[in-house]
Structure 1
Amino acid sequence: MNKQSALTKAFKAIAVTSSLTMATFGFAGTLTVSSPQDPGSWDPIDTFLVNWASVATNMYDGLTYRSPDLKLQPGLATSWEQLDNGTRIRFILRQGVTFHNGEAFNSNTVKFTFDRLMGDEGRKGPQRSNYAAIDSVEIIDDYTVDFHLKAADPVLLTKLAGYGAMIVPPAYIKEKGEDFFNTHPMGTGPFKFASYEPKVGIKLEAFEKHWGGAPKLTNLNYRFISEPSTAVAELQSGRVDLVIPPTIPIGMISTIEKDPKLKVVTTVSPTVYALRFNTKNGITKDERVRKALIYGVDRQAIIDSILDGQASAISSFQSAISFGEDPTMKPLPYDPNKAMQLLKAAGIKPGAKIQIDIRGNNATFNEVSQAVASYLQVIGLNATIKPYETSVLLNDIVPAGKTGEMFQQSWGGWTLDYDNTAYFMYHTGEKWNPYDSDLELDALLESQRSITDRAKREEILKSIANYTANRALEMPLYSLNAIFGVSTRVKNFTPVPDSRLRLSDVTVD
């Protein structure tokens, strides 16, 4: 056999071995996903963003897991039992699990995760109050822990399936430090961190030793593309395989559907949009003015003309699939005459200025806000729109109370429970409530958190929805479907309402 033949035979052998190895783990190529936002940190306690969860759900596991059918299932805990009238929860942990660096998962890691979340480090981020019911975590043995609660939290098991409750590695964080962990995440999920370039993208690799089995993809790459037209162009060119919400403008759905290599997949979503009011300063301090603004905008016309049937009207800041939504509530009707009467009664002169602060990268909402401004012009107000980079609006403007009279609030409501929205939006001192303080509302919000009777709790949540609507704390706009642009090369993709995509079973032709 000559030298060239020997080399050829050797390369073929390597190729066959490689193919067998890939087949053993079930790997099938690289999936590239377009995400509209870089969350800036991959630490679970640093964020509330859906775009964080759409990536990090693949890197981390929680004690519980909510599957695409929205049912709660075992995650890193194989079972749990609620004791002492719901104020103690015992978790039996999954054995044989490791983090991506080989560090063992056990009771110590669970205690570390929640001590950290409820301690000084967690206090710096937005997730801590979501888990405020947790008093302490007690280690019973290596694979049993008890959560001691200050009061029963009927939503806690769902909260443990996402965001701040993702289990993190103690030894890795202690060795590398908090800042390093922000940009070099480590979990137990089906994909492990490979590289991260801020504002550009993050790359993940299959973790073949995942307790749920190796994922079917070799690599999972995310590109941060804030401009919708660019994301769709990349999808059309094949450089992106999947575009996740809320990127795709309604007006571009037909463009995607006309391409035989692409398809649009939509599903009902808990995501809601509103224009919230500055209740502390300016003309929107007056409840009559706030109601006038709501009467002055034809939200149903916006849904029909701009959103092309991909949205539903809402009467409170929650969707129809949210626990606590009151189906008997009706949105305030479009009534420009009533709006002008209220403005006159409040002493507002024609030409008064209204500033609407929005996220600048959402093309669909840009159209919506332009329509809102036009309606407000009709009732005699001078409405202007001020777009911000999303991270600036969310991190610097809203929490600091530096908005204009109205500001965009988009909320995923991922627990499908109104508490997760209402507490953050309306309770005194919360990050997303920079202006308002209402002791009666605070009491209602606090009271429902300790009630385990589902029917009683639902009634309180409905009363909160009605209370906030009566005070006109925001202009409820709509609940928008989750809209995905997908290449036909992608197989076994299941859209999920909350965009927390677990892509373990996806393949790419």
Structure 2
Amino acid sequence: MRRLVLAAAAAFLSCATAVAQEARIGVAARLTSLDPHFHNAGENNAMAFHFFDPLVGTDAHQRPVPALAESWRAVEPTVWEFVLREGVTFHDGTPLTTTDVAFSVARLPEVPRSPASFAHYVRPITRVEVVDDRRIRFHTAEPFPLLPTYLSVFGIVSRRHGEGAQTSDYNAGRAMIGTGPYRFEAYVPNERITMVRNSDYWGPVEPWARVNFRVIANDSARLAALLADDVDLISNPPPVDVERLSRDARFRVARAPASSVYYIHLDRHRAVSPFFTDNAGQPLPTNPLNDVRVRRAMSMALNREALVSRIMGGLGEPAAQLQSSGFFGTSPDIGVERYDPEGAKRLLAEAGYPDGFIMTMHGPNDRYPNVDRMLQAIAQMFTRAGITTRLETMPSTVLFPRSANLEYSVVYLGAANFTGEASGLLNALLATWDRASGAGSTNRGRYSNPELDDLLRRAVTTMDDAARERTLVQAHEVGIRDVGLIPVMFPVNVWITQRRMTYQPHAEARTYAMQLRPAP
């Protein structure tokens, strides 16, 4: 459970009794694995934090708060010391020690075939020093002020059960031994996950004796399950139904602005890209996305206001950059690209495509609210601006590994801001891909800009907050003005519960049983 705001949890418990009950939750997204270190994706991480606590938690504003570590401090500019809380045990009864933390940090970069690795979050660490069972020190080559934030992104696993374990051992339940508020019971891929309350949990006691997560990818089917009282909570209801349900006395609606962004990755690593043809169907001899005028034309072709209002029912915000205004490192000087299909056509003509061209855009059909309608609308907008767009969608479990293999030219994806400030998304999505450092871990277009890389490196080693933010703003401006990718929108997350329940949402679009409580 990443958001360990103990005061909020205690407030929830004041109106709930720890009686034996089952919580039934319907979620949209399929997991790619139960291994907490396999795939850095929002839904995977949300599930993992039921079983595996992080070293550092975050509050509703994504600021670090104590979790498995009760305290931390920079003992030197390049040395951070963390102290574990006493009395924490794994689900098998063995005590948590710093050797488990050291093992988890070492394991992250070594997980094979990860579609989106966590390695970036531990790359700044050059040496791990186990001082004793409760104190551990992380050495970095340079000052790294974001280390507590980075250590909040992943769960700590048991060395005893994790040594020699593969991702398949987690999926089978054999290695699912954490310190979290729930214990693993069963997993049927793409169907359900069941868990039982950890009565020895170090934090607040959960009211649910058992939690049953059901994967219901279809929006209408998920809503139907709620209406039939087959589930107590659903995530991502169809946007068109949210207003109606908010007036229905049988339900409660919870909303939270997201810290996620939906965006379009653009192939920048190939001289010839596979999903572009001329209007006669012949492959284009060069990759049109290598011309900034084409990339800019594509951004101008999008009517973001219409996408939010008509497709998402107002449950969103047009995106100008990688995070919405107010987050640390967002530029005040970058506005939402003006919708201008005629201007887009002029730019295409300047770039040598007066008659446009044909492209195929890929995207998920099960990941985000109203994603099918969203992709169809985007394809129509590109076509209206002169780029005839064909659409191919597939389950996210297929799309993610294929996009990680760089099989696509244009792909629609989403990303969560795990760190609450700009460096995390900039490093993952726009930094030059580098396996050794973990930079560009989800840079599916292989965009590369040395100026952005340099600014980002300077920012993450700057201890002064004001100076670091100025540098991050500059990096943000470089990547967006060069159209390294195309931001589309920031979603508003919605959950709906039966009236007998309450749900306290957070900004990350994750669904936690820990946020669901019986109504007072």
Cα offset for 1:202?
A: 0.7
> Do 2:121 and 2:151's aligned partners in 1 also have CA atoms closer than 8 Å?
no
Cα separation, partners in 2 of 1:178 and 1:444, compared to 1, 3 Å = same
* Equivalent in 378, 392, 396 of residue 384 of structure 2: 378
Aligned equivalent of 2:370? 364
The one-letter code matched in structure 2 to 1:114 is V
* Equivalent in 247, 251, 265 of residue 262 of structure 1: 251
Cα offset for 1:90?
A: 0.9
Aligned equivalent of 2:312? 307
Cα offset for 1:141?
A: 1.4
* Structure 2 residue 395 is the aligned partner of structure 1 residue 394: no
* Structure 2 residue 517 is the aligned partner of structure 1 residue 507: yes
Aligned equivalent of 1:8? none
Cα separation, partners in 2 of 1:461 and 1:69, compared to 1, 3 Å = closer
Aligned equivalent of 1:450? 461
Aligned equivalent of 1:157? 148
Cα separation, partners in 2 of 1:58 and 1:402, compared to 1, 3 Å = same
Cα separation, partners in 2 of 1:348 and 1:324, compared to 1, 3 Å = same
Distance in 1 of aligned mates of 2:448 and 2:103:
34
Secondary structure of the residue aligned to 1:57 is: helix
> Do 2:260 and 2:509's aligned partners in 1 also have CA atoms closer than 8 Å?
no
| Worse-superposed segment, 462-471 or 187-196 | 462-471
| Worse-superposed segment, 152-161 or 207-216 | 152-161
Q: Which has the larger radius of gyration?
A: 1
* Structure 2 residue 430 is the aligned partner of structure 1 residue 426: yes
How big is each residue's C-alpha offset from its partner over 1:206-242, in whole Å with a ceiling of 9 and x where there is no partner?
0011111321111111111111111111111111111
Cα separation, partners in 2 of 1:193 and 1:289, compared to 1, 3 Å = same
Aligned equivalent of 1:473? 484
> Do 1:115 and 1:136's aligned partners in 2 also have CA atoms closer than 8 Å?
no
How big is each residue's C-alpha offset from its partner over 1:299-343, in whole Å with a ceiling of 9 and x where there is no partner?
122222222322112211222243111122112212222211111
Cα separation, partners in 2 of 1:159 and 1:193, compared to 1, 3 Å = same
The one-letter code matched in structure 2 to 1:484 is W
Distance in 1 of aligned mates of 2:352 and 2:166:
56
Secondary structure of the residue aligned to 2:370 is: helix
> Do 2:451 and 2:478's aligned partners in 1 also have CA atoms closer than 8 Å?
no
Cα offset for 1:462?
A: 0.9
Distance in 1 of aligned mates of 2:62 and 2:453:
29
> Do 1:57 and 1:162's aligned partners in 2 also have CA atoms closer than 8 Å?
no
> Do 2:105 and 2:122's aligned partners in 1 also have CA atoms closer than 8 Å?
no
Cα offset for 1:369?
A: 2.1
Aligned equivalent of 1:459? 470
Distance in 2 of aligned mates of 1:321 and 1:401:
33
Secondary structure of the residue aligned to 2:237 is: coil
Percent identity, aligned pairs only, is: 23
Cα offset for 1:265?
A: 1.2
Cα offset for 1:475?
A: 2.1
* Structure 2 residue 72 is the aligned partner of structure 1 residue 80: yes
Pairs within 5 Å for 1:8-19: none
Please report the TM-score for the alignment, with normalisation by the length of structure 1. 0.88
* Equivalent in 271, 278, 282 of residue 267 of structure 2: 278
Gapped regions of structure 2 (runs ≥ 5): 1-15, 274-286, 434-439
The one-letter code matched in structure 1 to 2:450 is L
Please report the TM-score for the alignment, with normalisation by the length of structure 2. 0.87
Aligned equivalent of 1:47? 39
How big is each residue's C-alpha offset from its partner over 1:337-395, in whole Å with a ceiling of 9 and x where there is no partner?
22111111111142510222111124523222222222222222211111121111111
Secondary structure of the residue aligned to 2:404 is: coil
* Structure 2 residue 339 is the aligned partner of structure 1 residue 323: no
Distance in 1 of aligned mates of 2:127 and 2:112:
14
Distance in 2 of aligned mates of 1:322 and 1:97:
34
> Do 2:63 and 2:149's aligned partners in 1 also have CA atoms closer than 8 Å?
no
* Structure 2 residue 237 is the aligned partner of structure 1 residue 248: yes
How big is each residue's C-alpha offset from its partner over 1:195-214, in whole Å with a ceiling of 9 and x where there is no partner?
11111111110001111132
Secondary structure of the residue aligned to 1:423 is: helix
Secondary structure of the residue aligned to 1:58 is: helix
- Higher share of residues assigned helix: 1
* Equivalent in 141, 160, 174 of residue 171 of structure 1: 160
Say what the alpha-carbon RMSD is for the aligned residues: 2.2
